[in-house]
Amino acid sequence: MIVLGIETSCDETAAAVVDHGHILSNIVASQMDHIPYGGVVPELASRAHERNITPIIREAIAKAGIQKHDIEGVAVTYGPGLAGALAVGLSFAKALSQALDIPLIGVDHMEGHLWANYAGRDGKRDGEPHLCLLVSGGHTHLWQVNGPGEYILLGRTLDDAAGEAFDKGARLMGLAYPGGPAIQEAAVGGDPKFVDFPRPMLGKDNCDFSFSGLKTALLYYLRKMNDQEIEFKMADIAASYQAAIVDTLLDRMQKAVKKTNLRKIFVAGGVTANRELRVRLDQWRLETGIEAIYPPLEYCTDNAAMIALAGAAHLEAGEKSSLNLGIFPNLSLADHARY
Ligand code: KG4
Ligand code: ZN
Structure letter (DSSP) for residue 330:
T
Residue 333's pLDDT band (boundaries 50, 70, 90)? confident
Q: Which atom of ligand 1 is nearest to the CA of 113?
A: 1
Q: Which atom of ligand 1 is nearest to the CA of 110?
A: 6
Q: Say what the pLDDT of residue 337 is.
A: 56
Q: For residues 250 and 290, what is the distance between their CA atoms, to the nearest angstrom?
A: 12
Q: Which atom of ligand 1 is nearest to the CA of 245?
A: 23
CA of 74 to the centre of ligand 1 (A): 26
Q: Say what the pLDDT of residue 216 is.
A: 96
Q: Say what the pLDDT of residue 208 is.
A: 96
pLDDT digits (tens, 9 = 90+) for 70-84: 999 999 999 999 999
Query: Ligand 1 pocket: which of 139, 301, 306 to mutate (most atoms <8 Å of CB)?
Result: 301
pLDDT digits (tens, 9 = 90+) for 237-293: 999 999 999 999 999 999 999 999 999 999 999 999 999 999 999 999 999 999 999
How many Cβ atoms are within 10 Å of 251's Cβ, its own excluded?
16
CA nearest ligand 1 atom 22, residue = 180
Residue 117's pLDDT band (boundaries 50, 70, 90)? confident
pLDDT digits (tens, 9 = 90+) for 169-206: 999 999 988 899 999 999 999 999 999 999 988 888 89
Tell me the average pLDDT of the chain: 92
Q: Which atom of ligand 1 is nearest to the CA of 242?
A: 23
C-beta of residue 50 within 8 angstroms of C-beta of residue 327: no
Q: Which residue has the higher pLDDT, 43 or 72?
A: 72
Classify 4 in phi/psi space as left (phi over 0), alpha (psi -120 to 50) or beta: beta
DSSP reduced 3-state for 130: strand
Lowest mean pLDDT among 2-16, 23-37, 104-118: 23-37
In this model, does residue 120 exceed pLDDT 70?
A: no
C-beta of residue 321 within 8 angstroms of C-beta of residue 83: no
Q: Which atom of ligand 1 is nearest to the CA of 269?
A: 1
CA of 276 to the centre of ligand 1 (A): 14
Q: For residues 195 and 225, what is the distance between their CA atoms, to the nearest angstrom?
A: 13
C-beta of residue 40 within 8 angstroms of C-beta of residue 167: no
CA of 12 to the centre of ligand 1 (A): 12
The percentage of residues in the chain with a pLDDT greater than 70, rounded to a whole number, is: 94
Q: For residues 18 and 5, what is the distance between their CA atoms, to the nearest angstrom?
A: 8
In this model, does residue 339 exceed pLDDT 50?
A: no
How many Cβ atoms are within 10 Å of 130's Cβ, its own excluded?
20
> Which of 1, 91, 54, 5 has the alpha carbon at shortest distance from 306?
5
Look up the pTM and report it.
Answer: 0.89
pLDDT digits (tens, 9 = 90+) for 126-183: 677 999 999 998 899 999 998 878 889 999 999 999 999 999 999 999 998 889 999 9
Q: Say what the pLDDT of residue 327 is.
A: 96
Across residues 212-227, what is the average pLDDT? 96
Q: Which ligand is nearest to the CA of 161?
A: 1
What amino acid occupies position 292?
Answer: A
Ligand 1, pocket residues at CB < 6 Å: 10, 136-138, 163, 166-167, 178-181, 184, 269-271, 273-274, 301-302
Q: Say what the pLDDT of residue 338 is.
A: 46
> Which of 216, 195, 213, 215 has the alpha carbon at shortest distance from 204?
213
Q: Which ligand is nearest to the CA of 185?
A: 1
